[in-house]
Structure 1
Amino acid sequence: MPRSSGGRANWDDLPPRPNGRSRAMSASTAPPVGNLPLGQPTWCLGTHASQPREPSIGIVVPVFNEAGILQSALERLCQAAGTLPVVIADGGSTDGSARIARRFFHTEICPRANRGEQLNRGAQCLTTDVLLFLHADSRLPERFVAHVQQALQDASVVGGCFQLRFDQSHPMLRFYCWFTQFPGRFFHFGDQGFFVRHEVFEQMGGFRSLPFMEDVDFLRRLRRYGRFAVLPVPVVTSARRFLRRGVIRQQLGNILLVTLFELGVPAERLARLYPHIR
């Protein structure tokens, strides 16, 4: 797997595919459509291609002091992602998270722990048609690639997310997860795994550098560019924050913060007033 080089991920350093081709090729030597390496344009090349290939997907995972769960999380991600390019964006962890991440994927070290900036840094390393942003403690569903590609067959869809399921059972958590099947703006957050067309991400200017609520802000702006799809399968995410503070208390705090943010209270002010809720 590629190691961090302080810049963009160098996918040329990866070992050859089983058919002997490297992961990166110029368009002049590109194989037939259907075998194009990830990161290359997915639409018809030359005059011999008869139909477009499915859009390629790259994954970005922000990390900060996650050593306790990172080993097992990245082992699962390795199995789920297969040959997809994955970038870990570490926010300057002090617990060895970056060292663990480098065993699995290309790892970028960011100057500070700011999730929006970390996600942008990871996205800069990828040239795939679609960017999928995944929290370290969220697990992708089976056949997630097919679900994302199917949703993006509709040209009006610019991005989307998965539904949500927690790894712990609690009536309040199940009730909350039930709402994530609906497209409303109050029902979707970063732990559900946002995906977006790369070109739209660039047009948006990526994530904003907010102390938190970067996912709510991103989704609000993304909806201006087209339709947002909610896929019919869930990611499974950790309920640790809810269990640590109390499920009902954490959920009510989340609702309060999102409501105030949507009413126009700056994220910086909310971060000062309610640092314990995040």
Structure 2
Amino acid sequence: MKQSNAVKISIIIPVLNEEAYLGKLLKHISKTSSPKKIMEVICVDGGSVDKTVDVINRHGAKVVHSKKGRARQMNLGAKQAKGEILYFLHADTLTPKDFDRQILNAVEQGHESGCFRMRFDTKNPILRFFAWMSKINHTLCRGGDQSLFIKKHVFNKTKGFNEDYLIYEDTEFIQRLYQQTKFKILSDYVITSARKYREQGWLKVQFHFAMIHLKNYFGASPEDLYRYYHKNILS
């Protein structure tokens, strides 16, 4: 499909002490996209104390300094972005080849928001099954690890990420996008790190994430969700 050269993507990556992963991602973005379609790569740092900012500068991305909190960081990145399309990406998630072209095609077909399917960097059969479920176009199968593209004017109209959420901010926002846009699941895959599952055990992490989904469904507040996360996953 023919694409307008005027429409470009701003990539927004919230980071906090990500020196171990970020350099690989920034190199990978260059290899899997075209500079003609990418306006900028904005890394919004929440106060890293490692060499994250040095990594960003070394790879020629833009550094934006922010208070800690992914919702706050992503909103600030979106505010400064110049592209017509915003693409939110985690520091440990790798893009598929020609991801920029795939996003632009979806937008030209009338989709104002969407994501890719996801695979974990592991052969664990249970995690592979949960990743397979990312093909299903339902809010229960969505998460920030799948990345997110959205037209900037739609982001502004929907007021972006809710900064009351210290966790679950991606899912809460996507739930609103399902209500207001024609959300698209692209058929290609991003590859995301299973590091949290390796560090703490896949069964423990998956169980507690499922409980967080359930608590949200029954109306738990952002503070309640974070308290549960902090007690059972961070501790």
Structures share fold, TM-score greater than 0.5:
yes
Equivalent residue, structure 2, for 1:230: 185
Which letter maps to 2:74?
Answer: L
Among candidates 63, 67, 76, match of residue 15 of structure 2: 63
Kindly indicate whether structure 1 or structure 2 has the higher relative contact order, using CA contacts under 8 Å at least 6 residues apart: 2
Q: TM-score, normalised by structure 1?
A: 0.77
1:108 aligns with 2:81: no
Which letter maps to 1:260?
Answer: K
Equivalent residue, structure 2, for 1:47: none
Deviation of residue 35 (structure 1)? 8.1
Q: 1:35 to 1:148 in 2, by over 3 A?
A: closer
1:167 aligns with 2:136: no
Deviation of residue 66 (structure 1)? 1.0
Deviation of residue 65 (structure 1)? 0.8
What is the RMSD computed on CA atoms of the aligned residues?
1.7
Q: C-alpha distance in 2, partners of 1:93/1:68?
A: 12
Q: For each residue in 1:115-148, what CA deviation from the matched residue of structure 2 results, as whole angstroms up to 9, or x when unmatched?
A: 0111111112212111000001000001112211
Q: C-alpha distance in 1, partners of 2:100/2:225?
A: 36
Alignment of 1:254-265 (within 5 A): 254-265=209-220
Deviation of residue 186 (structure 1)? 0.9
Higher helix share: 2
Q: C-alpha distance in 2, partners of 1:174/1:206?
A: 30
Q: C-alpha distance in 2, partners of 1:76/1:146?
A: 15
Q: 1:224 to 1:98 in 2, by over 3 A?
A: same
Q: How many residues align?
A: 227
Q: C-alpha distance in 2, partners of 1:223/1:34?
A: 25
Q: Secondary structure at the match of 1:132?
A: strand
Which letter maps to 2:143?
Answer: F
Q: TM-score, normalised by structure 2?
A: 0.91
Equivalent residue, structure 1, for 2:226: 271
Alignment of 1:241-260 (within 5 A): 241-260=196-215
Q: Secondary structure at the match of 2:122?
A: coil
Which letter maps to 2:65?
Answer: I
Among candidates 97, 113, 138, match of residue 142 of structure 1: 97
Which letter maps to 1:208?
Answer: N
Which letter maps to 2:99?
Answer: F
How much identity, in percent, do the aligned residues show? 30
Q: C-alpha distance in 2, partners of 1:184/1:230?
A: 10
- Higher radius of gyration, 1 or 2: 1
Gaps of 5+ in 2: none
Deviation of residue 249 (structure 1)? 1.5
Equivalent residue, structure 2, for 1:220: 175
